[in-house]
Chains A and B, each alone.
Chain A
């Protein structure tokens, strides 16, 4: 009996969302009186023993280069084998892109009940119940898992990342990976920017900004805050911004610590993707804009006047140019 956490990485770097999953796994193990271990497929540049600081005793590694690229079928086969050999009964993934590709496959393969998008530690006093978001963040469901082996994917930014002391033992696992089905032909990564789903602060613009030429101040505010940029659906549909910035019910769902909405009306479909943000700031010239009802802080005013002043104030506060 143990908790096994899947450690996701790309370009040799472990993803922050996986570190959150490790902390969650460690807390879960502590509350159920077992131990938490990690599993990493492929290779990374970091010394894996350092992950002990998140409360993880052992890190299993299947150090095959072919596993540096995600192939859902191969990964679920290897992970199923790892679950068997480690005897784990709770498997934790981040509910990130890799987690969404692998966890459901592993669930079907092991016939292990899956709750995706968990936001809390499970309740274990009476069965095993996990809280997750449903109705695109407009409600929560408590879902009970009935099977012996249980799989949870943890929403990003839902569990605090805390590092302590400790070193993990790194254990090589010898599991043969089948040849991948999928061949990668190209990859593009917008460099220098914070990925939207991992960002702690997001600055977002809507149709109120009138046109793509006005996004300079959105990008500038994001830059001084170390934030990612996002947009409403009509903005992406009009190709003012790339479609991977579109947040909402039909775009990406995010839950940053701070979401700043500029010139966005706050339609229910937009809110569905951002309502789990911890603090919401709305800048809109219309005091009746529905977004103010979902906001923590707001300014009723013209974005073209207000935003440059905010940028100045942040620069002063942070002492940056």
Chain B
């Protein structure tokens, strides 16, 4: 059993969002970088649990990024995983990133590929689906539970207003969200062990870029809150009805 988990680096959830160079670049100075929460809490931890259940499992991590992604990859290795592969490239285009991950996946012949639901900076929610298509594998998106019996996976995914459980054979690509696993804190043994586990750097394959970001914008500031007295909640209902016209 070989599992590949896709890891991306994102700004800390409390990072200040600002842009420079005529609104074309994110201001990265002073920003704390973390493993994208969906990749860490759900995809990676669930993969580690599968390895704990079946210790023969080989667990690899892949990240498409420049050397500045290494600390985040090491952090992921501290949670678990036998080896990490960094594809030495930087891109905001989902197709380009997916093509890199697909190339790594072909090379490693994985039975299972996990991605997070989406990156919290670019919010594409696209890479898992693209990778599955490039590899011509089945894809289950937005999984909340994952169980494995031999080469048959039982996966629960979100549907509008509920959940649906499905069965599908490996190999398979799954995008993971809340419910898959519980967040873990790396322990000292993991942190020490992560240093000795290989972080392989490979050069990107040739791939096209289908989209590019032209500019960023910040949303207009709110006008400010209109406070209503706690003694008169009916006034709030009147304002919502007559002024905001929301019901």
Contacts and interface: CB of A to CB of B under 8 A. Distances in A.
Given A140-B216, A141-B213, A196 B161 contact: yes
B218 A139 contact: yes
Interface string B223-247: 1011111100110111111001011
B37 interface: yes
Interface in A136-170: 136-147
B144 A243 contact: yes
A243 B222 CA distance: 30
Interface stretch (B124-132, B187-195, B197-205): B124-132
Nearest to A295: B225
Interface stretch (A38-46, A82-90, A107-115): A107-115
Contacts of A282: 225
Contact of A104 (B37, B129, B157, B209): B129
Interface in B151-177: 154, 157-169
Interface residues of B, number: 81
Contacts of A246: 178
Given A314-B237, A317-B241, A258 B246 contact: yes
A195 B158 CA distance: 11
Contacts of A95: 125
Determine the interface band of chain A, counting residues with CB < 8 A from chain B. Answer: 35 or more
A155 B164 CA distance: 23
A117 B163 contact: no
B132 A72 contact: yes
Contacts of B137: 73
Contacts of B17: 135, 138-139
Contacts of B219: 137-140, 275
B213 A310 contact: no
B6 to A, nearest CB: 13
Given A129-B214, A181-B168, A184-B165, A97 B13 contact: no
Interface string B95-138: 10010000000000000000000001111111111111110111
Given A73-B139, A100-B125, A310-B237, A197 B160 contact: yes
Contacts of B241: 317
A72 B129 contact: yes
A33 B130 CA distance: 31
B210 interface: yes
Contacts of A196: 161
Q: Which of B134, B218, B234: most chain A Cβ within 10 A?
A: B234
B22 interface: no
A182 interface: yes
Given A108-B133, A272-B13, A97 B95 contact: no
B140 interface: yes
Given A136-B120, A268-B13, A201 B95 contact: no
A134 B123 contact: yes
Contacts of B8: none
A286 B104 CA distance: 51
A299 B236 CA distance: 8
B32 to A, nearest CB: 13
Q: Which of B13, B127, B168, B223: most chain A Cβ within 10 A?
A: B13
A48 B75 CA distance: 52
Nearest to B99: A108
Interface in A283-312: 292-302, 305-307, 309-310, 312
Given A105-B133, A187-B163, A97 B141 contact: yes
B211 interface: yes
Nearest to B228: A299
27 contacts: A10-B159, A73-B139, A100-B126, A104-B133, A105-B130, A107-B133, A108-B98, A112-B210, A113-B210, A114-B126, A114-B211, A116-B123, A141-B214, A142-B215, A143-B213, A182-B166, A183-B168, A189-B159, A196-B161, A197-B160, A249-B13, A249-B120, A279-B240, A281-B240, A293-B222, A300-B230, A306-B230
Given A114-B210, A243-B144, A298-B228, 10 more contacts: A96-B160, A100-B141, A105-B133, A184-B165, A189-B159, A257-B246, A269-B13, A293-B222, A299-B227, A316-B234
